[in-house]
Structure 1
Amino acid sequence: MLRKIVSSRRIALVSILLVAASGSAAAQSLPFTGLTGSWAGAGAISLSDGSKERLRCKATYQVSNGERRLLQSLRCASDSYRFDLNSDVVSQDGTIAGSWSETSRGISGSIAGRESGGLISAVIDAPGFSASLSLSTRGNKQSFSISSEGDIRNVTINMSRN
């Protein structure tokens, strides 16, 4: 049971990271302009025990509400797990807020922060953990990192539009 909780927390953290990665398009007045479509990427997860795993992801973004609302469908996998994420993120006057759910494990959480000029700083929360997020989107490229004091210490992911 403890292993399932730790695994669920890892998946939730990575999921919300990827939701946040979709948060902004640089140098554009509307935060989600240009994100519609398919994206893919890779990165790494560093765990508290010192281990590190490679991560591969594919995402589909739909933008609405005057380019201020983003719906995301995301699938990620590492050597030890897979997850499917659905998310809904909204930006208003530089404030980012959203919710997500990981359907196969029945977990969910929230994100809150600020965006400006393609950069996002946010706090992500879910039952059992909290983490800080830094994100940059430039044209067809996204990169971010997240830091936590929990089981997942650091996550870095780079995504590109397909």
Structure 2
Amino acid sequence: MTAFSATNSHAQSSAFSGMAGNWQGSGTVSLDDGSSERIRCRATYKVSGASMDMNLTCASDAYKFNLLAEVVAAGGEVTGKWSETSRNVGGSIQGRGANGSFQVIAEAAGFSSSISLKTSGTKQQVTMKADSQFRAANISLSK
């Protein structure tokens, strides 16, 4: 029983394994007017056991967003809170994930976005889809 508990604890603490540190890259953002723009992005992940703080900033010549999140992973479930500082909105995050790959929903009053994040070694893919002025983003990052 002790070995199982230790394994379970280790599995929970490794939910964000390989994500800590600074990442950068580029991608595209799609807006509700049908336009699409290339964006440059930077992400910082601070991992402490089963908790992670994220700061993702992306910008083009005409568009910018700064997404902050504080999440906790336990038993394959991910919960937390998020905010987008340039638009002064925020809310809750919930979903599933482990080993650097996550599928979550970020919600706030009148807003919902699905977010998929997959980390593989020094590469990371972030995909966001929403039904608002911001429609989608596809971002490739590397360490």
Q: Give the TM-score category using the shorter length.
A: 0.7 to 0.9
2:121 pairs with 1:139? yes
- Give the counterpart of 1:72 among 21, 43, 54: 54
Q: 1:77 to 1:125 in 2, by over 3 A?
A: same
> Which consecutive unaligned segments of at least 5 residues does structure 1 have?
1-27
Q: CA RMSD in A?
A: 2.2
- CA deviation vs aligned residue, 1:16-62 (integer Å, no higher than 9, x gap): xxxxxxxxxxxx94111222211112111112221101111112221
In the alignment, structure 2 segments of 5+ residues that lack a partner are 1-9
Cα contact 2:78–2:97 (8 A) shared by 1: yes
In 1, Cα distance between equivalents of 2:137 and 2:65 = 16
Pair 1:100–1:141, CA change in 2 (3 A): same
1:62 matches 2:62 = no
CA distance in 2, matches of 1:81, 1:89: 26
| Alignment length (residue pairs) | 132
The question of 1:100 aligning with 2:82 is answered yes
Over alpha carbons, which structure has the higher Rg? 2
TM-score, structure 2 as length reference: 0.78
**Which structure has the higher relative contact order (CA within 8 Å, separation 6+)?**
1
Q: Under a length normalisation based on structure 1, what TM-score does the superposition of the two structures give?
A: 0.70
1:126 aligns with 2:102: no
Percent identity for Structure 1 against Structure 2: 45
Residue 49 of structure 1 corresponds to 33
AA of the residue aligned to 2:92: S
